[in-house]
Amino acid sequence: MKVNGFELRRVRMPLVAPFETSFGTQTERDVLLLRAAGPDAEGWGECVAMGSPLYSPEWVDGAAAVIREFLLPALVPAAAALTGPAVAEQLAKIKGHPMAKAAVEMAVLDAELRASGMALSSYLGAVRTRVAAGVSVGIMSSIGELLDAVAGYLDAGYVRIKLKIKPGWDLQPVRAVRERFGDDLLLQVDANTAYSLSDARQLARLDDFGLLLIEQPLPEDDLRGHAALAALLRTPVCLDESVTSARAAADAIALGACRVVNVKPGRVGGYLEARRVHDVCSAHGVPVWCGGMLETGIGRAANVALAALPGFTLPGDTSASDRYFDRDITAPFVLRDGHLDVPSGPGIGVEPDQAALDSVTTHSEWIGLE
């Protein structure tokens, strides 16, 4: 489809509560949104880069700059007939910046599918109309606060709990949650690269708690270390930050570095590459689940569509809107019986609430492709 240009829009979304991980604490989301506009349709994309380069080398100001100065100009030769798959081809010569590239691809793909009347879930190959929802629980100031938070999420209906951990906050919170809520609770932990292989003995003590998995315990570039650790643990090792592409997923599986993979479209450069990661993992019998980056309803809609693919057999971090925001910028995603409905409308299947969007917008600019 023809794309005339893009609106880059920055929004600031306060979180309902601080969210702490091993690399820092967030109290709000500084989000970069893209609107691809053409004569036939418009589409939306969301960049999941954080405010600082802590989770990955990308950060939101850098993403805005690379989109403005390099990615969008690279699309000009194809602007008259631009498609989602063509975006990756046009941007291939620009090294890195997967989160920025993913946002551009998502906006174009949403517009393309809206113009054709096809839902993103159908385009990707979804087999479900709703997906099981887990929730990620940040590091708390006390065990009591943690237990209260987990109880609230279970009362809300979430079917899986993920605890963020770091050295000094691992065995005690996991033991407390297991003792309070029992062995039937689907429970996993996420270290966000906070440990080293020398911590293997400590991490092995988590085996006693029957966890679904331990996510990204070691640095993202340490596949050999993950393989060595995986051989020492009964708990399945899941990779997140290490899986930057379908090829990286295949390498990790071949090395024995993981038995589960967390798929985040922004981390791998877009939803089309995320589908390829899913396909590689499925071919090797490795289950996947959909991670989250505290997305607004725009990114959440696309994540839910992805999570409806057949290989996503574990509950993802596809939480309801009210897990993070008092007011989302789309109609809120609501938890029903532990699940979220997959949007069935064209494209990502949701529209921004213009009043809500305007109320949190901090900057907007138009970049034409003509």
Residues 6+ apart with CB under 8 A from 314: 160, 212, 260, 287, 288, 289
Q: For residue 14, which amino acid is it?
A: P
193: which residues sit within 8 A by CB, 6+ positions away?
Answer: 22, 23, 216, 217, 218, 219, 220, 241
Q: Which two tokens stand for residue 60?
A: 């939101």
The type of residue at 209 is F
Catalytic residue, candidates 2, 101, 162, 164: 164
Ramachandran region, residue 164 (left: φ > 0; alpha: ψ -120 to 50; beta: rest):
beta
- Judge contact between 263 and 289, C-beta under 8 A: yes
Interatomic CA distance for residues 243 and 269, integer angstroms: 11
Instruction: Put the strands of the sheet holding 5-21 in their side by side order.
Output: 42-47, 24-37, 5-21, 361-368
- Non-local (6+) Cβ contacts of 142 within 8 A are none
- 164 catalytically annotated: yes
Q: Which two tokens stand for residue 195?
A: 């440990």
Q: Is 95 a catalytic residue?
A: no
What are the residues facing 37 on neighbouring strands?
5, 42
Count of CB atoms within 10 A of residue 159's CB? 17
Active site (catalytic) residues: 164, 264
